[in-house]
Amino acid sequence: MKRNLSPKQLEELGISRPLDDNVKIYCPRDIAEFYPVRPRNSHKGTFGSANIIAGSDSYAGAAALSVSAALKSGCGYVKLTTAPEVKNALVAHYPQTIFLRTPDLTSNAIAVGMGCVATKELYETVKNLLENYNGTLIIDADGLNALSKFGKDILKQKNCKVILTPHAKEFSRLTGLTVEQITASPIETARDFASEYKVALLLKGAATVICDGSQKEIKTALNVRGSSALARAGSGDMLSGYLCGSSARGLNPLDACVCATYTMGLAAELASKQKTDYCATAEDILKKIHLAVKRLTTQNPSVRI
């Protein structure tokens, strides 16, 4: 659903130009459609499997936040491929999670890069996934930095659906544009990249730009839900986890991005209302996800979970 924003509202969100007619802004009733009725006669496989590839000795928290969000997304299985020391730190806290040493290519969706460190080994992992995986692949954080460091053209040899989730600095490294150039024209720069590489691009910001360039006619959405509580470390890890789970349960790349950003944004607003933007932590936002989903699904009487 297209919703008009005033020039002042756009300016506050970092958008300096009027929106064209091809940019969609979704309302709660739209998002409710991404949470359909769950059949009573179902099992874990009904709702798909998500594989998170995240964490390292220095960034175990990135894996924890990603897994925590994925577990709340509604998918049937959450798997974590990580370093042994991260597994040892987390296994007792996440008994629902399947811990792996290597990626599971049978998963419906895979998210890679959160807290992994941008090494050549990670780059080779991303390259292998692009070539041999046929589900939905989300590349975030150090996965994006590895592409910037060792070569992004491998994106053109992909055999899977791809979603990239950069913030402005990561996108600057990936494109060679300055942060100032990106923030001056976020919709245009996101569209250009998504179209060239035939990927879905989620450019994070106060207004998150979502483009799907995999089709002949590029689709664009703008998410304006959220608060400054998201402007801290860990928010991107949570988003990638929730996005992976949303993709795993069957949403296409554009819809999964819209659903995940809107839901996490609403959860952040709820956390900020209770704890303030200053004090709301990533954990506080995680604890509000179920309330955000409940609020969204009650927007439409025909939708229940």
**In terms of C-beta density within 10 A (0-12 exposed, 13-18 middle, 19 or more buried), how is residue 303 classed?**
middle
- Greater model confidence, 23 or 286: 286
Min mean pLDDT across 15-29, 47-61, 117-131, 153-167 is at 15-29
Distances (CA, A) of 17 to 8, 12, 13, 161, 248: 11, 12, 11, 30, 35
pLDDT band at 249 (very low <50, low <70, confident <90, very high): very high
Main-chain phi, psi angles of 210, to 5 degrees = -125, 120
Q: Give me the chain's average pLDDT, please.
A: 92
How many other CB atoms are found less than 10 A from the CB of residue 96?
A: 8
pLDDT band at 33 (very low <50, low <70, confident <90, very high): very high
Q: How does pLDDT run across 231-245, given as a tens digit for each residue?
A: 999 999 999 999 999
Q: How does pLDDT run across 147-172, given as a tens digit for each residue?
A: 999 999 999 999 999 999 999 999 99
Secondary structure string (H, E, C) spanning the chain: CCCCCCHHHHHHCCCCCCCCCCEECCCHHHHHCCCCCCCCCCCHHHHCEEEEEECCCCCHHHHHHHHHHHHCCCCCEEEEECCHHHHHHHCCCCCCCEEECCCCCCCCEEEEEECCCCCHHHHHHHHHHHHHCCCEEEECHHHHHHHHHHCHHHHHHCCCEEEECCCHHHHHHHHCCCHHHHHHCHHHHHHHHHHHHCCEEEECCCCEEEEECCCCCCEEEEECCCCHHHCCCCHHHHHHHHHHHHHHCCCCHHHHHHHHHHHHHHHHHHHHHHHHHHHCCHHHHHCCHHHHHHHHHCCCCCCCC
Q: How does pLDDT run across 77-108, given as a tens digit for each residue?
A: 999 999 999 999 999 999 999 999 999 999 99
Q: In what order do the strands lie in the sheet with 200-203?
A: 23-24, 219-223, 208-212, 200-203, 161-164, 136-139, 109-114, 49-54, 77-81, 98-100
Tokens of 159: 């055999």
pTM, two decimal places = 0.93
Beta pairing partners, 114: 54
Q: Which of 186, 286, 289 is nearest to 234 (CA)?
A: 286
**In terms of C-beta density within 10 A (0-12 exposed, 13-18 middle, 19 or more buried), how is residue 134 classed?**
exposed
**Residues of the chain above pLDDT 70, percent:** 92
C-alpha 210/C-alpha 257 separation (Å) is 7
